[in-house]
Amino acid sequence: MVATSATSSFFPLPSSPLDPTAKTNKVTTSTNFSGLSPTPNSGRMKVKPNAQAPPKINGKRVGLPGSVKPDNETSSQHPAAPRTFINQLPDWSMLLAAITTVFLAAEKQWMMLDWKPRRSEVIMDPFWVGGIVQDGLVFLQNFSIRPYEIGADRSASIETVMNHLQETALNHVKTAGLLGDGFGSTPEMVKKNLIWVVTRMQVVVGKYPTWGDVVEVDTWVSQSGKNGMRRDWLVRDGNTGEILTRASSVWVMMNKLTRRLSKIPEEVRGEIEPYFVNSDPVLAEDSRKLTKLDDKTADYVRSGLTPRWSDLDVNQHVNNVKYIGWILESAPVGMMESQKLKSMTLEYRRECGRDSVLQSLTAVSGCDVGSLGTAGEVECQHLLRLQDGAEVVRGRTEWSSKTSTTTWDITP
């Protein structure tokens, strides 16, 4: 209380604005300290209630906002604290409470938008863009076409389409709980050092999506002969449901150590057969023989193609989508500028590794090489081979004019 009284003496209470007609600004101060007396028992000073603040400021009488009750009065009444420089500062607690409330509300909204799965053991829909449908036999996944997935003509490239097909195939295996420690291999396949390799791929494209479009990819598997598996895909427009692409492929097993083809063991067959769909291929098989090209029959040759480290998959061989890019390396630029790839049939005959050096050969049929820019329909034969002449991939592609406004017929 002594400190409070002293503070009030040095920091007087503010009064109303100064009266311009006042004759003097004299401050009259009268402080009575007669109420301070030592406490008999403790030897300390005790504050008496008759200690007063200055009664006048600038000639005007100012009363104390509160008074201190003596010790012998009722202790249940709490005295009001005198107004001083310290306790007249703003109350920041309300401002801090408001700021805290805003931050808590923002954090709550952010957590509601945080859609990523929290548990690693979630099996159904692990990528939050698809899942297994139709009695657990068909896998569906959505893709948004990104800027880096389109070409110079502002539409998705054939490599983009093929990457979507491959991703849905792997996600199908993973979501079904069949993914072992390999690249699409089941647990029993991992035990026996077996991997899947594609032997044939057939794709028909009716329309390519553009940047920002959303496509829906459906995939399922069926039996192909005694030792093969067929995988089919349908690519639809995410908004209209229109079928954009049909694709069908045949896969066989290869020993990862010996690099030789293998029969399907019974243990592996027991894992995959419950997921087989009894259905016809989405595309009628193109039974036309693929032509073997050489330096004399090819119109265009591109040599010196080598895999990069990023072209290898976890099985240490070149990803099958990369072969498509190499095949098109020898396609004529004039055709690429004016034509759009509408169908493709590939036969994979040999794998290649990171030390391989390849050649890409292309022969054009259906039109003269010099008139590719104005041709309506173009067919090409392709061959990808190692430098020593060993065949890697044979292929055939069909092209149609980009200026055509009609969607290509892709009915099976």
Residues taking part in catalysis: 315, 317, 352
Distance CA 65, CA 371 (A): 103
CB 234 within 8 A of CB 245: yes
Distance CA 79, CA 65 (A): 11
Q: Give residue 93's identity as a one-letter amino acid code.
A: S
CB 225 within 8 A of CB 285: no
- For 393, list phi and psi in degrees, rounded to 5: -145, 135
For the chain, report the end-to-end CA distance as a whole number of angstroms: 98
Q: Parallel, antiparallel, or unpaired: how do β-strands 56-57 and 60-61 relate?
A: antiparallel
Distance CA 305, CA 357 (A): 6
Angle at 261 between CA 266 and CA 292, to 5 degrees: 140
Q: What is the DSSP letter of 97?
A: H
Strand-pair partners of 60:
57
* Residue 395 three-state SS: strand
The residues near 188 (Cβ < 8 Å, ≥ 6 apart) are 180, 265, 267, 268, 270, 271
Q: Give residue 313's identity as a one-letter amino acid code.
A: D
